[in-house]
Amino acid sequence: MRIVDHPILGKIKERKKVFIEVDGKKIEAYEGEPIAAALLAAGIRVFRFTAKEKEPRGVFCAIGRCTDCIMTVDGIPNVRTCVTPVRDGMKIKTQVGLGKWEQK
Amino acid sequence: MLNEQTILNKVKTSPGYPSKERFFKGPVAVIECPEEIPCNPCEEACPFGAIKVGEPITNLPMLIEDKCIGCGKCIANCPGLAIFLVNLNYSKDEATISIPYEFIPLPDVGEEVDVLNREGKFVCKGKVIKVNKGEDHTWVITVSIPKEFFEVARNIKPLK
Amino acid sequence: MKEAEITVIGAGPAGLSAAIEAAKYGANVEIIDENALPGGQLFKQIHKFFGSKEHYAGTRGYDIGRKLLSEAENLKVVIKLNTVAFGVFDKNKIGLFDQKDILISKPKKIIIATGASENPLAFPGWTLPGVMGAGAVQTMINIHRVLPGKKVLMVGAGNVGLIVSYQLLQAGADVVAIVEAMPKIGGYFVHAAKVLRMGVPILTSHTIIEAKGEKEVESATIAALDQNWNLIKGSEKELDVDLICIAVGLKPEADLCRMLNCEFTYVPFLGGRIPLHNEDMETTIPGVYVAGDVSGVEEASVAIEEGRIAGISAAESLGYISEEESEKERMKCKNRLKAFRIGPFGSPRQEGKNKVFEEYKRRTKNVK
């Protein structure tokens, strides 16, 4: 959910709206915001599944430290979505295990 | 465990809390800051020199009762949102409380609101008298309440 | 461009303040930061700071961030963003990665101001999506303006737990409860009072025992603790929450200090393993300084003063400022620091710092 108005920070700034694709589904995002923020805003909280136990993982630290939020972005696995900015047309995939490099 | 009673006991014995006599004389700042933290903007905010912290900066803020005229300037200048204003002489049956407020939407003047105590429990209904822009996004809301609740009423329920 | 004489790692309150001071005296300073935006954690601090006027009291964190940034800009401090300092070698070679190339910076002095990271807390279900660091949630709500959950359980009633709870309420979330394993609230009374009067219960001697949910958090189980920290059977309670915030302290991000073989000591009250340093913020490796949370977890106001001291010390060691003048300038900062390290909350931090300073003296004497 987006925090449109805020008692201290005021109304959210106008930003350029773009679209990204998450597991084939188109979602709205704002250019420059971290991928993780766009996904959380869209209500997506499961970002990947672990290699052995296939357990779900999502955002934990949001500052690029813990690597829990990694996904496959434009064919590149293990991208820290909390510190990687959104670009229009990005293709994001829920990652399973170590992920795979994909041909572009 | 902090609840209405334990908080009230704690703030009542601190030097920022007005005496009973002072409450009855009219509008007065109620400083609910009973812990030695390094902070003193209240001292500077008061145009009448009615709040003293001094040195060291961890001194508890002291209310100098006869200097306080109840202007309320301190309310939105306290970074801890720990200062309120109580006016027991608002009318025959009613007192007012002024509280720092940092939520949206703001209530309208004349609106009826739920008045809460120090642990967020409902105390009584109140009527919004003033909605003032305080300092840097901290608003000051003044609500009239039945007099008997002047010592427990310290918040209003945010409107959704 | 001229090579930087001083490289500051981290563009938070400590790093910016260090760079500002050093640049003020004429040193050529660069700041390295891995983030896309400078300011460290300052821009998510939307509450008003405590302290005195000299400490920016009454000013919201993000405004302090703006002030520091414009000062740094006016002094022509170069801030290299999106650049990771991945290692320090041979005392003065810093390995940098700017998302394209690997670069080596060879400054004469290094100021490490890398801050701290949040402690995790392990319990069944702690890896579920929806369990997040309190600072992480603060970043999401105040910087990115996204609410990661609607019904929240906060774990930890220190200042971070209390402040972030209040900010969650401001962002429109419902904070169901704050649990604190200690028998008393760790943060300031005024912060606790703010959330309490919004109707958020603070349950001391309580902890989380499980996060439940199929794929993400759907509920949390909490329970009461006795005097010996044992769970009280039958006290378990399930809370309907979709977000669990962990606010159980921070630890210094001191990896670069470790790579440099700086000596460390252990001060639990300051966040654990602390790189030894003296009152002028120099580590056991001459020419390498620390400032802010990396030198012991305190708060932004302290980080600013420590940064200033480190900046002055580095400028002095390069000959930009006389020993006498730098001592005078540092004393101003030290006096402001002292004001922050008194009282029931400050004095344990002062004791911790004293331990660090004393051990620094002892160990550097043995070396010489």
Give the 3-state secondary structure of chain B.
CCCHHHHHHHHHCCCCCCCHHHHHCCCEEEECCCCCCCCCHHHHHCCCCCEECCCCCCCCCEECCCCCCCCCCCHHHCCCCCEEEEECCCCCCEEEEEEEECCCCCCCCCCEEEEECCCCCEEEEEEEEEEEEEECCEEEEEEEEEHHHCCCCCEECCCC
* Cβ atoms < 10 Å from Cβ of B71: 14
Asked if A6 and B104 come within 8 Å (Cβ–Cβ), the reply is yes
Q: Which residue is closest to B10 within chain C, CA to CA? A: C189
CA distance, residue C248 to nearest chain A CA (Å): 13
- Of the pLDDT bands very low, low, confident and very high (cuts 50, 70, 90), residue B152 is very high
**Which neighbouring-strand residues pair with B155?**
B116
Asked if A61 and C135 come within 8 Å (Cβ–Cβ), the reply is yes
Q: Which residue is closest to A11 within chain B, CA to CA? A: B104
How much is the pLDDT for C268?
A: 95
Q: What is the pLDDT of residues B99-138, one digit of tens each?
A: 999 999 999 999 999 999 999 999 999 999 999 999 999 9
Residue B26 phi/psi, 5-degree rounding, is: 125, -170
Identify the CA nearest to A27 among candidates A69, A71, A86, A83: A86
- B-chain residues near C64 (CB < 8 A): none
How far apart, in whole angstroms, are the C-alpha atoms of residue C8 and residue C110?
A: 6
Asked if C346 and B135 come within 8 Å (Cβ–Cβ), the reply is no
Q: Which DSSP category does C295 fall into?
A: G
Q: Which residue is closest to A58 within chain C, CA to CA? A: C129
Residue C240 phi/psi, 5-degree rounding, is: -85, 90
**Which neighbouring-strand residues pair with A17?**
A30
- C-chain residues near B102 (CB < 8 A): 170
Asked if B41 and C53 come within 8 Å (Cβ–Cβ), the reply is yes
How far apart, in whole angstroms, are the C-alpha atoms of residue C245 and residue C111?
A: 32
Q: What is the pLDDT of residues A26-79, one digit of tens each?
A: 999 999 999 999 999 999 999 999 999 999 999 999 988 899 999 999 999 999
Model confidence, pTM: 0.96
Calculate ∠ Cα C210-C212-C217, nearest 5°: 115
Give how far the C-alpha of residue C358 lies from the chain's centroid of Cα atoms, to the nearest Å: 23
How much is the pLDDT for C365?
A: 84
How much is the pLDDT for C303?
A: 97
Tell me which of B5, B8, B40, B154 to substitute to probe the interface with C (most C C-beta atoms closer than 10 Å).
Answer: B40
Identify the CA nearest to A16 among candidates A6, A28, A34: A28
Q: What is the pLDDT of residues B64-108, one digit of tens each?
A: 999 999 999 999 999 999 999 999 999 999 999 999 999 999 999
Q: What is the pLDDT of residues C124-146, one digit of tens each?
A: 999 999 999 999 999 999 999 99
Longest dimension (CA), chain C: 68
Tell me which of B81, B99, B104 to substitute to probe the interface with A (most A C-beta atoms closer than 10 Å).
Answer: B104
Identify the CA nearest to B56 among candidates C336, C352, C333, C48: C336
Calculate ∠ Cα C102-C105-C108, nearest 5°: 165
* Strand spans (E) along A11-89: 17-22, 25-30, 48-49, 56-57, 70-73, 76-80
Retrieve residue A102's tokens.
């994909």
Q: Which residue is closest to A8 within chain C, CA to CA? A: C46
Q: What is the dihedral of CA B57, C190, C122, C142, to 10 degrees?
A: -100
C342 touches B at CB < 8 Å = yes
Instruction: Report residues of chain C scoring pLDDT below 50.
Output: none
Retrieve residue C177's tokens.
């409860």
How much is the pLDDT for C91?
A: 75
Say whether pLDDT at B160 is over 90.
no
- Of the pLDDT bands very low, low, confident and very high (cuts 50, 70, 90), residue A104 is low
Q: Are C8 and C19 in contact (CB under 8 A)?
A: yes
CA distance, residue B106 to nearest chain A CA (Å): 9
How far apart, in whole angstroms, are the C-alpha atoms of residue B100 and residue A43?
A: 33
- A-chain residues near B79 (CB < 8 A): none
Residue where the block lists tokens 């296939």? A54
